[in-house]
Structure 1
Amino acid sequence: MYEKLAKYAGLLPLVAVFVYLFGYVMLNAYLNNFGITENVALDERILSLGILYLVIIAPIILVCFATFKFGDYRNVNQSTYPELIDNLHDAFGYSLLYALSLGALLLKTAMDNSTIVVLGILAVAAIINKVPMKSTVRMYLKGAFMISSFFIYVTIGISGVVSPKTWFYLVVFMAFLTCIGLRIFNKEGTTYQASRIAIVVTTLLALASTVGANLIGHIPAQYGGEKRDKIVYFLDMTAVDKLKRTQLKPYIEKDNSVTMQSVYQNSDRIYFLTPNQYVLSIPKSFVESEQVKVPKYNYVDR
């Protein structure tokens, strides 16, 4: 037991490196959406974004690879196909359930077209699992459905408005199918193993970039994302005259404040999104204080 713990503890530095790498890629992809070029190598957000990425991806990868521990699939062949397909089909269902639950938590939006498609795919997967049929037919049907479900989702789920949830489910599909492909086509040899590791890392970085560019701006900050409430910035008196000669002038109130959607800030500057979807920045020294706008609630005595 202690040997296993020591073995896994030795992987922690490697995990930390990947958490940083994923977070760095995500933050850069997010900022590139707004045309912001900053050196974010030491930004504290990198850690939270890297952890958020692991929360999204890690369970999908673990449930896929754990499937191969349910049986002896070191050498995938015709005799191991039926049990392997059954286990992968179950793992596919668990992955979709996880994605639906996590998507509802992180992206609190109304049910869109992509969510309906994923629910439909999950329902068909459950039907295939329960309807009586020959084992051979069931095996081929499950295998074909797992692969075709991705194309069904891409065809129908992305045919309408591409929402944050659309990207979220697409990332889940890509992570699961990549794991299946890499694990089934298993071969011996140092060269093959090295190439497989390279493919895994490249795929995870590509998915991290996708999450950063299309998702973290819609995930609330309390969950590690970058979505924040509008902030009221109270400007320094000496800075107001300077800012009134810029594009910020229409948004400066009589009390020398501006209310904007925060995009990013570092030790020197604050970046925010104006109502007409322009990204502006001001020196942090221009701001005396800031206040988060809290929604007003109407309380009714009963």
Structure 2
Amino acid sequence: MKNLSFHCLIFLVYFLPLKNLSAQVEVIKSEELNRVKGASGVYFYKDRLYIIPERCLEIIEIDVKGHSKRSIPLKGMPSTMTTLEGITIANGYFLLIDEEKPRIYKVDMQGNYEEEYRFNADPEHKDNDGFEGIAFNADKKLLYVLHERAKVESSYQAIIYTLSFEEDLSVLQTVDTLFLPLGNGDFRYTDICFKNNKFMAIKSKKGEYFINDFDFENGVISKSGYSKREISKSISDFLMMNKDYSSNLEGITLDEKNNIYLISDNMDGGTCDRAVKKQTMLLRLK
């Protein structure tokens, strides 16, 4: 795929009160992000944000003010790859999750494919409810993989797999499997992140948005519960005044000051080299 040319980015700051989260919402309006088909994950690393689109074979790098830095074309990806979702960085490499298969792709910082890793996942997902997020715990040498929604017996649940690995990531073994109830399946989890000893996840359905904070012990996520912070009113208020933005939150990450970044999927079918009708919503919660 050809390298997209970057245009000057415009960013807009818009402040909203955030229920149950003492923070301000800064909206970074980026014209260049709207050329991307379906942002599906975001990761903060060394004052940069790395954004992975679902179908475009590239990673977009911007700084925390929204200024473009580079497009990193993904080269040599397996022909069996389906849709790319979450993104993290481990041991100096990008790790990307395949939505439809239990596969993790290792890519160097220049976008060159290195290898893939497989892990055991059960039950099989259906109806496009696949693997949505990946996170890395360097201290405990653990990876976390999110399955957004699955029907387990008679109920819907999200699943977080905790995987251990060797130094070169060559061996992945399942350490723990956490099931998160989703009731009748209206809600889904769309991404996870681990940074600064914090583990967070996005849970949402149309018009309702939550950030869940999970406790963990020795790297394993606690099954005893989590704290839930609702951001529905803040998102809804912004969308009422800015109807051209996509409300489909797909990615979450933290910076070193614990500012939270959220990104949405401009899900209207635009191609990689054409501006789409819905705008990507990139938020920073302070």
- TM beyond 0.5: no
Structure with the larger strand share:
2
| TM-score class, shorter | under 0.3
TM-score (norm 2): 0.27
TM-score (normalised: structure 1): 0.26
Greater fraction of residues in helix: 1
